Amino acid sequence: MSKSNRSIEWPKHNIIGIKKINKMKKTIAIVTVAALFSSCAVIRPGEAGVKQTLGKFSDKVVTQGTMLYNPLISKVVKESTQTNNIKLVLSLPSKEGLSVDSEISILYRLEQDKIPSVLENLGQGYEDIITSVFRSASSDVCAKFFAKDMHSGMRATIEEEIKIKMGENLVKQADGIELIAVLMKRIRLPSGLANSIEQKLQAEQDAMRLVFVIQQAKLEAERKIIESQGERDAQIILSEGLTPAIIQIRSIEAFRALSASPNSKVIITDGKTPLLIEPQ
């Protein structure tokens, strides 16, 4: 047999090594493809996850656990379901045309089942929308009240009216944002108005103090009148009860008491009533 027709025989261990390499390549390729077409997102407590595929949001909302998605065509948008606080510092108009500086807190949270609607209509920058709605609502409401009302017991009424106005405007744009409270903090009135309010309060306190003093004086006068009337009535009752017989009995009792005294006295009597004269 010629040398050219002789078949080439590979060592057995080389063939096994080539098979292992090919198998590893296939495994790596499968893992790479799986990683490209499947990823995992973890949704923690207090969060909600919504899958967005080719720009469209899914109606399914996941609150806890994991979500699988294809990173090439989709992603998972996470939003907080806890109470959030938007803090603002701005000037609010008043009925008399003044500007009142105030620190504002807007407390809100997203309704879990309506998060896809909020994201679809407002996007992830919905807090900017809430802020804009607040600015409009607060200007409309505060313009109906005086500046001093924002610094008094009327503040709660103003806050509630702003909240109601914001809710009416937000629901027109997207349903799913729950307004919990609007809080007006650190109200700073214009210096001139603040001084006027302080002076007015001081005057009111002085007037209340004067009213109290007058009431006390009236009560004291009434007390003295009642006391005088009581003494007068007692004297009238006593004088009406002093008959000649009682006077005589009282005189005899007094005479007996004096007669027992060791001190020397001169007693002059007409036989009816004794008259006592101390010696000089």
CATH number reported for the structural domain that contains residue 139 in this entry: 3.30.479.30
The confidence score (pLDDT) of residue 29 equals 63
The confidence score (pLDDT) of residue 136 equals 92
Boundary-marking domain end, from 193, 212, 229 = 193
* 74 domain-assigned: yes
CA distance 247 to 266: 21
pTM (predicted TM-score)? 0.57
The confidence score (pLDDT) of residue 271 equals 59
CA distance 124 to 126: 5
Q: Identify which of 159, 167, 168 has the alpha carbon closest to the alpha carbon of residue 141.
A: 159
CA distance 57 to 52: 4
DSSP annotation of 172 reads H
The confidence score (pLDDT) of residue 4 equals 46
Boundary-marking domain end, from 79, 103, 122 = 79
The confidence score (pLDDT) of residue 14 equals 55
The confidence score (pLDDT) of residue 197 equals 58
Boundary-marking domain end, from 41, 63, 79 = 79
User: What residues pair up with 65 in beta bridges, in sequence order?
Assistant: 43
CA distance 82 to 63: 12
The confidence score (pLDDT) of residue 17 equals 58
| 88 and 186 share one domain | yes
* 268 domain-assigned: yes
CA distance 128 to 56: 22
Query: Residues 85-118, buried b or exposed e (16+ Cβ, 10 A)?
Result: eeeeeeebbbeeebebebebebebebeeeebbbb
Which residue, chain included where needed, has tokens 């949704």?
43
The confidence score (pLDDT) of residue 3 equals 44
* 228 domain-assigned: no
CA distance 130 to 163: 11
| 132 and 186 share one domain | yes
Neighbouring CB atoms inside 10 A of 158's CB total: 20
| 40 and 70 share one domain | yes
pLDDT tens over the chain, length 280 residues:
444 444 445 455 555 556 666 677 677 766 555 554 457 888 889 899 999 998 899 989 988 888 888 888 888 999 999 999 999 998 888 888 888 888 999 999 999 999 999 999 998 999 999 999 999 999 999 999 988 788 778 889 999 999 999 999 998 888 899 999 999 988 877 666 555 656 776 677 778 888 888 888 888 888 888 888 888 877 777 666 666 666 667 777 777 776 676 766 666 666 555 544 444 4
| 44 and 98 share one domain | no
Tell me how many domains the chain contains. Answer: 3
**Residue 85 neighbours by CB under 8 Å, 6+ apart:** 105, 106, 107
CA distance 125 to 51: 17
What is the extent of the structural domain holding 37?
A: 14-79
| 89 and 47 share one domain | no
Query: What's the Cα-to-Cα distance from 146 to each of 143, 161, 194, rounded to whole Å?
Result: 8, 15, 13
| 106 and 119 share one domain | yes
Q: Are the CB atoms for 79 and 112 separated by under 8 Å? A: no
Q: If DSSP codes are grouped into helix, strand and coil, which group holds residue 42? A: strand
| 61 and 105 share one domain | no
Q: What is the DSSP string of 92-141?
A: EE-TTS-EEEEEEEEEEEE-GGGHHHHHHHH-TTHHHHHHHHHHHHHHHH
Query: What's the Cα-to-Cα distance from 145 to each of 67, 133, 165, 213, 267, rounded to whole Å?
Result: 51, 19, 15, 35, 91
| 58 and 73 share one domain | yes
CA distance 196 to 97: 16
CA distance 114 to 61: 9
- Residue 189 CB-density burial (10 A; 0-12 exposed, 13-18 middle, 19+ buried): buried
* 239 domain-assigned: no
